[in-house]
Amino acid sequence: MSSSTQNPAYESTEVGRIDSSLRSTGLVFGISGALWLVFAGITGLLTYLQIVVPTLFEWIPFLTFGRLKVVAVNALTHGWATNVGFLLIIWIMSRLSERAPDFDIRRYLLAPAGIVYNILVTYGILAIFWGEATPYFLLEIPSKILGACALSYILITIWTILDYFRRKRQTPYVSQYFILGAVFWLAWIFSISQLILGNANITGVIQAVAASWLAHAYIWLWLVPIGCAVAYYLLPKVLGLPVRNYYLAFFSFWCLAFIGPWGGPAELVGSPVPIWIQKLGVVSGLLLSIPVISISLNLWQTCFHPTARAKLDSLWKSPTGRFILTGVVVFPFFGLLAAFDALPFHKQDMQFTYWQEGIFYLGIYGFYSMIAAGGIYFVLPRLFGREWKSSSLIHTHFIYSVVGFLLVAIGFFWGGLAQAEAYANLEKSYVDISFITWMPILMAVVGFFSLVIGQIAFLINVMRISCACPLESPSAAEGPTLLTQELEERSNA
């Protein structure tokens, strides 16, 4: 852990003190998040490679499709998404409270919470390899381990709420709302989930109802609010312009707060659960389009409004701006696809197909990971007081990620459509369907391969900035890396 002062002038300011007090937190969450991301990418690649080549791992029990897929999804969500989410919300909340603590409790509370959390997730992933997985999407880590993770969630929730009450400025900023909502909901849903799924008296489809709820809440009440908080905080910062419509932002938050928690059973439309639960799922699923549209409108207007056009170039040059912009552009596509997925006439064809995977991966890789990576590109240099070592690695990360998530999403959507069409044709057997979906899944596999390349570039960069490499130019700590800078320097030389 590096505690040497790289830039005394910066650290003497209030902002600098806040940032440097979060250094250990950033180290834990940043590095473990990036490691999980690469792990998830590789396991995801190997998972879908097995659809293309079914005989690949048949002599290695723990690498078979059923286990590896679960590992990939859980490493991606509980590993990468949650870790990096913690870092971003802690940092944004501290920055917005604008007050460095006198006694730095963060070092003793947050980093240990992160270490414990990552040990638990590692243990959970190993348990899945061992064959202890539960069958519920995003809750596959055995409930005892996930229940212990809830302790970490609660610690971080308490910290964030305390931070909020410590704030200097009384008027809240919308990112604070999204963050408070996210931490509160996450701690709540995971505590409740373990109460319901861990209760031996509750058997049968009621478990599936609860589990669908939790999976939905994990995406819509945890990942989406974090993405929004980061975008609402960093976009204006990079652009140098305020959010286009301040009140619309609060409106979207409350829409999400009141509609989001009802949505889970959309996944169970058509399943053997009471019909009123299915209808509730459809209605709340469709209503989700309201917050999706209002959030997208606001963020798109912030970026693409005529008055912002002049600054769009600076947004594109900054790695933070470029990644977040991509996430913001993807968000309405992901959100509306997910919302309208609840429509029964659409659902009846698409329910058990790759279409569902497409929506999930578009959301995680296209929306969330892009915004989160953008956030990391902004946060880590400030925490460590160093500059990113290589802008070409950032370039690589960006290009391969975009190509990757587009190929993965399009591959799965294509596969889902092909599957649904073949399923409607009564003469096609499951073997025929697996031949028909071979090409789309190959496309997704190529996409995963591309993602992995980008992720490895990201990991190298994160490792190099976190570990105590000698600082090349101390002045670089002042401003953000610009993707054009290095190129210009090269051309000058």
Partner 1 sequence: MISRSWIFFLLLFATVALPWGIVIYKAEEQLLAIEPASENQEVYFKDRAGEEYASPAEYIASVEENGGDVTKAKIDATNPIPEWETKGDARSKEYKGFRLALRNVEGAPLFPRFEGGSVLRGKRIYEANGCVQCHTQQVRRKDFGNDAAREVGQRPSVARDYIFDSPALLGRMRIGPDLSDVGSRIDETSLHKHIFRPHLTSAMPAYPHFYKTRKIRGDQSAQALAFEVGEYGAAEEGYEVIPKASAKDLVSYLSSLRQDHQFHNAKYFTPKQSDAEDSKDSGETGVLARGKELYNTQGACVTCHQANGQGLLTAKFPPLVNSEWVTGSEEVVTRIVLNGMQGPLKIGDVEYGAVPMVPTIWKDWPDEDIAAVISYIRNEWGNQAPEVSADTVKRIRAEVGTRGPWTAEELEAYKK
Does 257 contact partner 1 by CB under 8 A?
Answer: yes
| CB nearer partner 1, residue 290 or residue 460 | 290
| CB nearer partner 1, residue 36 or residue 137 | 137
- Please report where in the chains the tokens 């509306």 appear, as a residue: 336
Does 132 contact partner 1 by CB under 8 A?
Answer: yes
| 73, HSE (Cβ side, Cα atoms, 13 Å) | 24
Please state the separation of Cα 86 from the chain's center in Å.
11
Q: How far is the CB of 330 from partner 1 (least distance, A)?
A: 23
| CB nearer partner 1, residue 187 or residue 372 | 187
Q: How far is the CB of 396 from partner 1 (least distance, A)?
A: 32
Round to whole Å and give the CA distance between 218 and 235: 24
Binding window for partner 1 (CB under 8 A); candidates: 66-74, 89-97, 147-155, 330-338: 66-74
Beta-carbon contacts of residue 14 (< 8 Å; ≥ 6 apart): 98, 99, 100
Does 473 contact partner 1 by CB under 8 A?
Answer: no
Evaluate whether 235 touches 308 at the Cβ level (below 8 Å): no
Beta-carbon contacts of residue 416 (< 8 Å; ≥ 6 apart): 350, 353, 354, 355, 356, 357, 358
Q: How far is the CB of 283 from partner 1 (least distance, A)?
A: 12
Does 486 contact partner 1 by CB under 8 A?
Answer: no
Q: How far is the CB of 160 from partner 1 (least distance, A)?
A: 12
Does 479 contact partner 1 by CB under 8 A?
Answer: no
Helices (H) and strands (E) in the chain, counts: 22, 0
Which residues from 297-356 bind partner 1, rule CB under 8 A?
344, 348-349, 351-353, 356
- Please report where in the chains the tokens 């202890």 appear, as a residue: 132
Binds partner 1 (CB under 8 A): choice among 131, 305, 472, 487: 131
Which residues from 208-227 bind partner 1, rule CB under 8 A?
208-210, 213, 217, 221
Round to whole Å and give the CA distance between 402 and 425: 35
| CB nearer partner 1, residue 71 or residue 238 | 71
The Cα-based distances of 409 to 36, 334, 341 in angstroms read: 21, 10, 15
Evaluate whether 232 touches 175 at the Cβ level (below 8 Å): yes
Q: How far is the CB of 161 from partner 1 (least distance, A)?
A: 8
Q: How far is the CB of 379 from partner 1 (least distance, A)?
A: 25
Binding window for partner 1 (CB under 8 A); candidates: 16-24, 32-40, 159-167, 332-340: 159-167
Q: DSSP letter for 103, please.
A: S
Round to whole Å and give the CA distance between 24 and 3: 9
Does 64 contact partner 1 by CB under 8 A?
Answer: yes
Q: How far is the CB of 475 from partner 1 (least distance, A)?
A: 41
DSSP 215-230: HHHHIIIIIHHHHHHH
Evaluate whether 274 touches 228 at the Cβ level (below 8 Å): no
Round to whole Å and give the CA distance between 345 and 258: 26
Q: Total binding residues for partner 1 by CB under 8 A?
A: 82
Round to whole Å and give the CA distance between 162 and 185: 16
Q: How far is the CB of 117 from partner 1 (least distance, A)?
A: 22
Binds partner 1 (CB under 8 A): choice among 3, 4, 103, 165: 165
Q: How far is the CB of 132 from partner 1 (least distance, A)?
A: 7
Does 188 contact partner 1 by CB under 8 A?
Answer: yes
| CB nearer partner 1, residue 316 or residue 423 | 423
Q: How far is the CB of 477 from partner 1 (least distance, A)?
A: 35
| CB nearer partner 1, residue 48 or residue 388 | 48
Question: Which two tokens mark 68?
Answer: 């590896």
Does 69 contact partner 1 by CB under 8 A?
Answer: yes
Using a 10 angstrom Cβ sphere, with 0-12 exposed, 13-18 middle and 19 or more buried, the burial of residue 451 is buried
Which residues from 87-126 bind partner 1, rule CB under 8 A?
none
Does 430 contact partner 1 by CB under 8 A?
Answer: yes
Evaluate whether 387 touches 381 at the Cβ level (below 8 Å): yes
- Residue 21: in which H helix or E strand, if any? helix 14-21
Binds partner 1 (CB under 8 A): choice among 168, 242, 307, 431: 431
